[in-house]
């Protein structure tokens, strides 16, 4: 799982930061979302999906596909 946030779309409601503080925070200047852990552990996935669905501005997205393997060095 990979978490992505659009801070420009965020309205600073803090639903994410209050619900899953280990994954989301808020910018101290404008209160927009900060993704603290873009690849949360499996035990947080359900809570992250829930908060993405409850985000009032739609600023959060989840990419559920497995992380891409690192590009090999050439």
Q: How confident is the model over 32-49, as pLDDT tens digits?
A: 999 999 999 999 999 999
Residue 54, domain member (yes or no): yes
CATH number of the domain within which 46 lies: 3.30.70.20
Position 40 in a domain: yes
The residue that leads in pLDDT, 46 or 68, is 46
Domain with 36, as residue range(s), is 2-60
Token reading at 14: 């803090």
Judge whether 19 and 33 are in contact, CB under 8 Å.
no
pTM, entire model: 0.84
Query: For position 66, what pLDDT does the model report?
Result: 60
């Amino acid at each position: 799982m990979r978490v992505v946030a659009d801070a420009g779309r965020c309205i600073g409601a803090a639903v994410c930061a209050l619900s899953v503080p280990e994954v989301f925070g808020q910018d101290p200047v404008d209160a927009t979302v900060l993704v603290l852990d873009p690849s949360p552990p499996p035990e947080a996935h359900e809570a992250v999906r829930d908060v993405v669905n409850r985000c009032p501005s739609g600023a959060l997205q989840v990419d559920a596909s497995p992380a891409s393997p690192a590009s090999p060095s050439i």
